Every structure is written in structure tokens, then in C-alpha cells.
A and B are shown apart, each in its own frame.
Chain A
Amino acid sequence: MPHAFPLFPVQASSAAPGVDHLFYFLTAVSVFFSALIFLLIFYFAIKYRRRSKDEAPPKNQVTNSIPLEVLWTAIPMVLVAVMFFWGADIFIRDARAPRNATEIFVVGKQWMWHIEHTNGKREINALHIPVNQPIKLTMTSQDVIHDFSVPAFRMKMDVLPDRYTTEWFEATRTGKFHLFCDQYCGMGHSLMRGWVYVMKPEDYERWLRSGVAGLTLADQGEKLYHQLGCITCHGTGKGPAFVGLYGKPVKLSDGQTVIADDAYLRESILYPTAQIVNGYSPIMPTFKGQVSEDQLLQLIAYIKSLGSIEGNTGTP
């Protein structure tokens, strides 16, 4: 066999050791109980085998024991409680990206991964990231459900059409790691693979700057902002302004308040009448079918660039 023959995946993210420790714990529990059951069965099977064909079965045996039943109900209960809380703890941490994470956008389509960096650099079926730096992926799909999985990071998340899901990780070692689509997505499912390249920060910077033909993601969004005519309302006060909007609570006409996050902005572009900002009338046409998923991400990046933090507002 010419190829390497690994039995355990490499640990390449900050989350991996935690998951593996939990895995070792479960394996220890499993091995212990499997061994216990197997040894008991073998022992009983040999010790109490029927010696002759007409051997009479032993009589008046104990066939009920409440203490035993309680014992072997309680012990598994305690063990699974430990597993639950341990697993839940890691899972909750994995679900929430740190605030300073570098954001990268992922669009899945049958059968390729399309990845965009904030400076406008794009790649296909490859993801370049710096080591020791939290990365947050904002992902969506153009067609069916996919799943962005990096086994070396012990991380995966489904990628759904018409919705943003996120996933974050912090790579801890440089190298080249598998990227798989884990959710069956049709004919080319097994070809929807790629590589994650974890680089030293300086290499990453160099890579990021090389070969960028033109505009950053936000700049491309700005271009769209003009091309699509968003400016005619949102730049004139007929529609809500974008400056400092991102991440802020928005009061809606039905009295509810939502946070202006990616999902909200996306919905407002595609279904403008669904959530009307208080004080404005529902006059915006839908852009569904006119902007692609990539363009949506560009528009959102633009709005984001207009500032989410006080004192850091850009100019439209």
C-alpha cells in the first residue's frame, strides 16, 4: 500500500484537543463496559455450559434483584450526564465565534466551494487561513444543502440555501487539511472537496495581497449599491441609511426590534416587506432573483464597512 495509513486524525485547531479528550473519555467508558459484558458472557458461557444433554436446569434461582436493577440504571445515568454536560459545553463554545474573528464568506453550490475574503480575493475549493487566529465563516448555499466540514478542525456545519449559517475555528498548526462536503448534495457530492491551507500569518498576508485584481468585497458591494440603484432611496433618506447600521438594533413598524445582522440584511434585500423599519413605507422592490449569493455577500460587506462601531463610521 503506497499511501499513508492513518488511524487517528491530526489535531489542527484549538477545538480539536477538547473534542478528542471527550472522545477518549467515551472510548474508555465504552471499552470498559464492552469488556465487562464480553468477559461476563464468556465466563458464564464456559462456567455454566450444559454438560450433558439431559442435564436438569438448576432450580429456584434468583431472577429478580431490585438493588442490581437500580445500580445498573443509576451508573449509566451518571455517566451519560457527564457526557452530556461535557459535550454541551464544548458545543456551545463552538457555536459562538469570538468577536475579533476574521470573517470569510463561503458559498456552496453543486459541486464546489466558492470562498471570498473581505479584500475581494476569491478561491475555489480551497481556503487559505492564517494560523492561531480565529476565523469565522459565514456560509450559504445557492442550491441544495451542503456541509462544510474540516475533520482536522473537528468542525462542521450544514450550509443551507436562503440562510446564513456560521462556523468558526482557530487553526493551531500550519499545513494542508481536507475540506469535505458532508451533507449529501447530489451527483457530484464526493467531488465537492477541497483543501484548507493553514499558513503563517506573514505568508497569509502575502498570499492575501497577491493577485487581487481589483476591489475588496466592500468595494464591490459599493459598486452594486450604485448599480442597483439602492442609493436613490437609501442615500436620500427615503429609505433607512446604512451608516453605522450593522449590528445595531432596528425598530420595526410592528413594534419588534431586531439586530441588523447578516440574516436581517439578507432578508431585507430579498424580502423587503417582511421587516419594515419603523417610520418608513414598504416601497422597496424585491431583489430576489436579481442578485446572486455572492453579490448579496458583497452588499452586506459594504454595509458592514459603513461602520458598526461608534467613532468608526465610514462615508457612503
Chain B
Amino acid sequence: MSSPEVELPIESRVHYLNVDYGIKSWLLTTDHKRIGLMYLVSITFFFCFGGVAAILMRLNLLEPQGLLVEPETYNKLFSMHGIIMVFFFMIPSIPAVLGNFLIPMMIGARDVAFPRLNLLSWYVFMTGGMLTLYAVIAGGVDTGWTFYTPLSTAYTNTHVMAAAAGVFIAGFSSILTGMNFVVTIHKMRAPGLSWFRLPLFIWAMYATSIIFILGTPVIAITLALIGLERWFHVGIFDPALGGDPILFQHMFWFYSHPAVYVMILPSMGVVSELISAFSKKKIFGYHFIAFSSIAIAAIGFLVWGHHMFVSGQSLYAGLVFSALSFAVAIPSAVKVFNWTATLYKGSISYEAPMLYALGFIGLFTIGGLTGLYLATLAIDQHVHDTYFVVAHFHYIMVGGAVMGYLGGIHYWWPKISGRLYPDGWARVAAIIIFVGFNLTFFPQFILGYLGMPRRYAVYPPEFHTLNVISTAGASILGLGYIIPLIYLTWSMRYGPEAGPNPWHATGLEWTTASPPPPHNFEETPVVTEEPYSYDRLAEEIQVA
């Protein structure tokens, strides 16, 4: 399926990047690839913002009495870090960047089903983001990203309204994206591309979209109620006026727990692609990985109460939620075993994306297993709201989701930009990030079991040493994140041309030119085989 045009150098060929120039051609584009790139720039901006907050927090914790800031400022820092990283980086990261860029190409479509809604979703996202940034600049929010009542409604005078409104608005961009993806995957697949010929990334994005569609509206209405409660001083969640603050927690976590799967499922999809591509072997247990994504999305909606074991929730509800939480561990375990089995008798190479993928499996394994501690009622009773929880969800969200995101960016970067980045640097960065990450967050498991509560600006001196280690790790981690930013930007201009398929990978996106032409394919591809058919590739290499 090679097209003669891909032989031409990048500059002399019409592709989505050079088909039109000028700021207007970007701001008014309906091309899913350009929208994906706009999301990439936006979330990188938010990531830097949230990252700076994280670094300041870690610096402050260098001293038990706080090195830099007052507790008041520290509270605003971790609230900002949480709100921005969760709602404006993690949730849109893979879906809005790689999902937008890849889904139409992976299924052989010219664009998503609703390109204008797709553009609208970016504007909605940016509006929400700007409102949240306004809240930060105007003086900050100090409720944590969880907005627990009655603190957020009756006891704080920070900019809760603006931040909640920002998150509320950004939610609609998730809804639009999810809606677009589901319809696109259902209705726009190329001829011959049946469900079980879809790449696993598509399955993961489909599962993610389900969560977007069914979960996001609930956080929207919950935050709207917070706003109304603040505004009119009514008591929907305020016990002083007859409300129930635990109801807020139910409604908040009904979305916000599945939101964790919004972060990790797409990463799992990316890793499934990477493991197969760099082992040059068909993924092991395709059907099980595909269905486990759907299972995680579905069961993920039944487990939110494990955030509330010690909240004053009913004992019986706690038991039910604990049992269901264990259930969601099974499909995750199935995935890890299948990835490992894929390596068996492969032909494994270690370019940077593969290092990220292997790092993902390791860190996600630790993150997933420590999740079992938190699902266990008696242990959660000890470690709830301590650094153990902080470490656990960073292992999932940063060790898992961000590693997957970076792996995906590196893997598809030649497709996005048409150029290669220096692989040596990329491997070094991947290793620095892996080491820095573990150094930052592993000590926090110990801190958590020792009992250090989360969201503490100052802490008892016996936790000092471990906090210093953690901060040291964070500085390494921060450095690790800066390196890719530099060489990826550099490669956009100076990198050698990648060609349509630098990794010799399967998948429709690798059959078109890099960067792809405006409508992805010169002619609509017809699919005749299962995904990850590296057997055919083996034959081709032998022939060559």
C-alpha cells in the first residue's frame, strides 16, 4: 500500500502541516490532525504550569517547617497542581492529542464524524482552562481538586467559583470528544475493518469515550450545584442547612473515579501498540485485552465508594464498594500478563517508545498492586488520605498514564511531524524519567504507611529524610521532562525525514505519508487482515 508520493521530500509534498499557513488556518481548522496538535500545545502549557506547582510543593517539603511558603500558599499550590493536572492535562492528554490525531487514521477515515464539534471542543477546553488560570492568578483556590463540601461552599473565600466554572466548562469538551470518538469508531471504519480487526488503541479509546459520555455530565452538574450553593447560600450539601456532604462525595467520585480510567485506559491502548510493534509480534490475547478495556470502563463505574471508606459512609456500602474495587483489578492484571506474554519469542528492539512501554508495565504493576492495599478495608482505614494514596495514584497517573503518553508521542512523532528525533537522547530521557519517578514516589509509600497525611504543608520531623529523598527525585524527574520538550521541538525543523513507516509497524496510520496528507489517505484503504500481522511483515523482509 505504498503511495508514490511518499518518496518526495517533505517540503515538496502537500500535507496537513503545509496545506495552509497562518494563525487563522489553525484557529479555524476542522482537520482532526491539526486539532490534535493544538491540544498538544495547550496541554503541554498546562503541564508546565502544574509541574511548576509540583516542584514548588516538593521544595517546600524539604524542611518540616516549610522551606518556601506559608501553609496558605502551599494549599493553593497543591489545589492548582491537582486541578490543572487532572482536568487540563491528564484527562485530555492521550484522548485529545493522540486520539484526535490517530483515530481517523487508524480506522481509515478522512476525519472524525463531526469535525466542527471537534474544533468547538478545543475552544470549550481553552475557555475552561483560561477561567481556571484566572482563578489561579486572581488569588488561587485552596479546596484541593476534590472541592469537598462544606469547605468549598461555606468556609473558603478563595476563587472556587471561577475554578469550578472552568472545570465545568472543560467537561463539555470531554463530552464532545467522547461523542465524536464513539460515532467515528462506529460509523466511519474503512471497508473490511471489522471490530476485531481494530487496533487495541481504538478499543481503549472507545472504552474511554464511554466514560467521557456517561461520567462527565455528573461532575458538571455536581460542580454546578457547588456554584449555586456558594452563590445563593443554600444547603444542598451543607449539613448546617440539612444537606449531606457525603452525597457530594458520592456524586464527585461517581465521575472522578472513572476519570482515573480515562487517564490510564488510553495509555494501556498505547502500550498495547508499542509492545507489539517493538516485539515485531502479534499481541498476545488480543480479545482479552480488548474486552478488558471495556470491562475496566464498566466496572470502573461501580467502585467510587472506595474513596469514602472512612468518610462516614455506611459500613455495608463500604463492603460492597471494596468487593467491587477488587473486581476491577482482574482485567488490569489480565492486561499486564498478556503484554508480558507478547514479549515471549519476539524480536525485541529498544527504541525510546519501547523503553517507555516497558517502564509503563513496571510502574503500572506497582501502582495497580498498591491499589489493592487501598481497596482492602482494614488497610485503607490506616493509609487513607496519607502519602500512601498520593504515591499510589502517582504510580498510576504519572508512572502509568504519563509514561504511556510520552511513549505514544515518541512512537507517533515521526507520523505527526514527518521527522525523526535523536533516539539516543530520547532513551536517556526515558531512563532519567523512570529513575526520577521512582525516587520521588517510592519513599512516599513508606511515608504513607508511617502515617504522614497528604496535603500537609508542615510535618513532623521524623518524616524529614524520606521527604528530602522524594524532593531529590522530583528534581531529577523535572529535568527528565524538559529533555524531550527540547529535542522534540528541535526535530520538528532539523530532524531527518522519517518516511511513512520508520518502525516497520503495522496499522493503517503507517500506510500513509508522514506527515499525512490533509485527508489522511490518497484513497480509502481496504482492510483484509487482522491487526498486528507481523507474520506478513516477516515475509516481506525475507523477500527483500
Contact = CB atoms under 8 A, between A and B. Distances in A.
* A–B: direct contact at CB < 8 Å: yes
A158 B310 contact: yes
B350 interface: yes
Given A1-B464, A182-B386, A190-B456, A7 B446 contact: yes
A147 B281 contact: no
Given A50-B348, A76-B333, A87-B378, A161 B240 contact: yes
B142 A187 contact: yes
Given A88-B322, A188-B71, A80 B535 contact: no
A231 interface: no
Interface in A189-237: 189-191, 193
A190 B71 contact: yes
Nearest to A151: B451
A95 interface: yes
Q: Chain A contact residues: over half helix, strand or loop, or mixed? A: mixed
B191 interface: no
Nearest to A164: B312
A80 B240 CA distance: 40
B155 A143 contact: yes
B282 A19 contact: no
Interface in A268-290: none
A252 interface: no
Contacts, number: 287
Nearest to A83: B376
Contacts of A163: 239, 312
A171 B528 CA distance: 69
B379 interface: yes
B285 A63 contact: yes
A77 B239 CA distance: 40
A185 B150 CA distance: 9
A178 to B, nearest CB: 6
A186 B347 contact: no
Nearest to B449: A9
B377 A90 contact: yes
Nearest to A274: B242
Contact of A91 (B329, B381, B385): B381
B370 A30 contact: yes
Given A5-B462, A26-B376, A38-B362, A189 B284 contact: no
B453 interface: yes
B311 interface: yes
A64 B284 contact: yes
B347 A50 contact: yes
Contacts of A50: 280, 347-349
Contacts of A89: 378
Interface in B257-299: 279-288
Contact of B450 (A7, A40, A155): A7
Contacts of A73: 330, 333-334
Interface stretch (B88-96, B212-220, B338-346, B475-483): B338-346
Contact of A87 (B75, B312, B322, B458): B322
A315 interface: no
Contact of B155 (A94, A144, A155): A144
B312 A165 contact: yes
B486 interface: no
B150 A48 contact: no
Interface string A144-160: 11010101101111101
Interface in B354-396: 358, 361-362, 365-366, 369-370, 372-373, 375-382, 384-386
A127 to B, nearest CB: 16
B378 A94 contact: yes
Contacts of B349: 49-50
B339 to A, nearest CB: 9
A299 interface: no
Contacts of B148: 144-145, 183-184
A37 B282 CA distance: 20
A44 B344 contact: yes
Contact of B366 (A34, A64, A149, A189): A34
Q: Which of A50, A80, A95, A154 has the most CB of B within 10 A?
A: A80
Nearest to B241: A162
B183 interface: no
Contacts of B240: 161-162
A61 interface: yes
A275 to B, nearest CB: 14
A111 to B, nearest CB: 10
Contact of A182 (B279, B283, B384): B384
B72 A187 contact: yes
Interface in A41-93: 41, 44-45, 48-50, 54-61, 63-65, 68-69, 72-73, 76-77, 80-81, 83-84, 86-92
Contact of A90 (B144, B362, B378, B449): B378
Contacts of B366: 30, 34
Given A48-B348, A60-B535, A186 B156 contact: yes
A33 B369 contact: yes
Contact of B461 (A3, A145, A187): A3
A63 B284 contact: yes
Contacts of B344: 44, 48
B172 interface: no
Given A5-B462, A29-B369, A144-B151, A23 B379 contact: yes
A19 B382 contact: yes
Contacts of B373: 23, 26
B455 A37 contact: no
B494 interface: no
A6 B142 contact: no
Contact of A48 (B151, B287, B345, B376): B345
A48 B281 CA distance: 11
Contact of A30 (B245, B279, B372, B537): B372
B205 to A, nearest CB: 22
Contacts of B338: 69
B423 to A, nearest CB: 13
Nearest to B287: A64
Contact of B458 (A23, A187, A190): A190
A193 to B, nearest CB: 7
B378 A19 contact: yes
A80 B451 CA distance: 24
Given A26-B372, A34-B366, A144-B151, A41 B343 contact: yes
23 contacts: A3-B465, A9-B451, A23-B449, A29-B369, A38-B365, A49-B348, A55-B347, A57-B535, A58-B346, A59-B538, A63-B284, A64-B284, A72-B333, A73-B333, A84-B323, A84-B375, A110-B155, A156-B381, A162-B239, A180-B453, A182-B384, A182-B385, A189-B456
Given A23-B379, A88-B322, 4 more contacts: A8-B450, A9-B449, A61-B282, A83-B326
> Can you list the 4 inter-chain pairs with the closest CB atoms, starting with the nearest?
A151-B451, A57-B280, A162-B239, A91-B377
Interface of B: 71-72, 74-75, 142, 144, 146, 148, 150-151, 154-156, 239-240, 245-246, 279-288, 309-312, 315, 318-319, 322-323, 326-327, 329-330, 333-334, 336-338, 340-350, 358, 361-362, 365-366, 369-370, 372-373, 375-382, 384-386, 446, 449-451, 453-462, 464-466, 534-535, 537-539, 541-542, 544
